[in-house]
Structure 1
Amino acid sequence: MEIGSNTPAIVTGGASGLGEATARAIAAKGAKVAIFDLQEDKGKKVAEEIGGIFCEVNVTDEASVDAGFAKAREAHGQERILVNCAGTGNAIKTASRDKNSGEIKHFPLAAFDFIIQINLIGTFRCIAKSAAGMMSLDPLNEDGERGAIVNTASVAGEDGQVGQAAYSASKGGVIGMTLPIARDLMQEGIRVNTILPGIFNTPLMNAAPQQVKDNLAASVPFPKRLGNAEEYAHLALTMLENGYFNGEDVRLDGAIRMAPR
């Protein structure tokens, strides 16, 4: 897909981190970007700087998502691009024993459901609603392409660490649904791909002590550093612009394979 002047696009989680970098990269191509996020101050600032709009959206709430799509489409028209970056994580063992008291506890199911609702169901909710809208568009080219979708999973979806059962399940679900969704939409000219980031220098990571970040960087085979959000955005652009890129799950991780802990 050629991303040209005024191409409508939506980026979930676009107020910071991977989403912000992607929103900026797409806007630099001339696209009109709507940012879906709960961080109003940051989201409005980024939207203003890139000539887009901010939509306060909670991806776990269907009415909120519907309102976001309505606002974005009223401002920019039906989107041809959707990039899903909204997500979160936690670190809780499936079952564990308190080191002091010996008390045995299991993973709170509400906490497990919370991660699934945001990372997996929230992603699918946005995909389904965006794809339905893209189907109303005329094809862009002789291939019949109408739109393109990029999702965010994680290397934890393939080699999750201790305490990542919920996070890995949610991201593994995103990986697992990529090909079936691409097949669902193949006759409509809508491509679907997923990026599996490794350890990236995001706002969440910035809060970690420098020694922790240094140790994580040293664990990456090459290059021995954390990934930059702009590198994620570069791959997202490739997936959007390369018309033969479809149904793929691609690791972006410096060749790291995560250890158990």
Structure 2
Amino acid sequence: MKLADRSFIVTGGCGALGGGVARAILDKGGIVVVFDILAPEDGRKVVKGYSADKAFYFKVDISDVDGLSAACREALKVIPKGSLFGGVHCAAIAPSRKWSHKMVDSCKDFQKVLHINAYGTFVVDACIADAINSQYPDEGPFFERVAEERGCIVNIASAVANPVPARCLTYGPSKTAVLGITSGASDFLGPSGIRVCSVSPSAVASKMMGDRLPYMVGELDAAAIFPRRASEPEEAIDGIMFLLQNSMMNAFDLRVDGAWRTISNWGGPKDPRENAPALE
């Protein structure tokens, strides 16, 4: 797929990963519509730093299907007619709490993270796909399969989606759900000529990691094959751009993780539960 003159919605596009994706699409001659939770004036200021005339911003809650649908309709008004070709879904949350030996203590966190990371991914994929398809005549539910490529959606999963380590008790399964949504959506949207893939990075060296990064670097050094380090945002972005541009990539999860084995590491001098800065 050529990105030039084609438009893409990027959720979480004011953050490190989403912002990098937005700039990479713009560098290829594309157009971006950023969805994020910053106040409109703040979000527009960030996005106009990407491009003065080819980047647009809307404040959106990704788990609000009505709000997201409305934002997609507004996006279609500001981009060139018929140019929407997909999206990259970077928005997510990673709640953390002190370690507890009672799983029930994490139930509220699990409910919250599933709502944003799993349900939110389903909503984003659905609304972007429907917005792409709205640019074409509606021929009913049993339309003839199209032959041309009409778009691509890339979701962000995680190396901790499979297998899920104990430290990522709630976050990990929410990203496992992202893998399932990606697989199901790719099959559902295949007749419309829309591909759906995912990228699963390991720990990304960004502000979002905060004081957890030194711990993660230690885990990667112990359990990744090579390279044994945190990934840089640009490395995940390269993977996302590959999936967007290669028309044969569909229903595929691209791991950008140095072959990290994510299960609990019991080989060190201390109990890994005691080492972990938080239970996610």
How large is the Cα RMSD of the aligned pairs? Answer: 2.4
Residues 55-83 of structure 1, C-alpha deviations (whole Å, 9 max, x = no match): 11111222321232122221114521210
Q: Which amino acid aligns with 1:87?
A: A
Counterpart of 2:58? 55
Matches within 5 A, 1:51-130: 51=51, 52-76=55-79, 77=81, 79-91=84-96, 96-97=100-101, 106-130=104-128
CA contact (8 A) 2:13 2:19 kept: yes
Shift of 1:258: 1.1
Counterpart of 1:12? 11
Q: Structure 1 vs Structure 2: percent identity of aligned residues?
A: 29
Matches within 5 A, 1:1-261: 1-5=1-5, 7-40=6-39, 43-51=43-51, 52-76=55-79, 77=81, 79-91=84-96, 96-97=100-101, 106-137=104-135, 143-205=147-209, 207-208=210-211, 211-212=214-215, 214-219=217-222, 220-260=224-264, 261=272
* Runs of 5+ unmatched residues, structure 1: 98-103
> Which segment is superposed worse, 236-245 or 215-224?
215-224
CA distance in 1, matches of 2:216, 2:119: 30
| TM-score under structure 1 length normalisation | 0.87
Report the secondary structure of 1:24's partner residue. helix
Report the secondary structure of 2:162's partner residue. helix
Q: What is the number of residues matched between the two proteins?
A: 250
CA contact (8 A) 1:33 1:47 kept: no
Shift of 1:213: 5.6
CA contact (8 A) 2:154 2:244 kept: yes
Shift of 1:44: 2.7
Q: 1:105/1:215 Cα in 2 relative to 1: closer, same or farther (>3 Å)?
A: closer
Shift of 1:109: 3.1
* Runs of 5+ unmatched residues, structure 2: 137-145, 265-271, 273-280
CA contact (8 A) 2:220 2:260 kept: no
CA contact (8 A) 1:33 1:53 kept: yes
CA distance in 2, matches of 1:156, 1:213: 12
Residues 125-167 of structure 1, C-alpha deviations (whole Å, 9 max, x = no match): 01111111212346xxx94111100001111110222242221
Q: Which amino acid aligns with 1:18?
A: L
Q: 1:29/1:126 Cα in 2 relative to 1: closer, same or farther (>3 Å)?
A: same
| TM-score under structure 2 length normalisation | 0.81
CA distance in 2, matches of 1:217, 1:256: 7
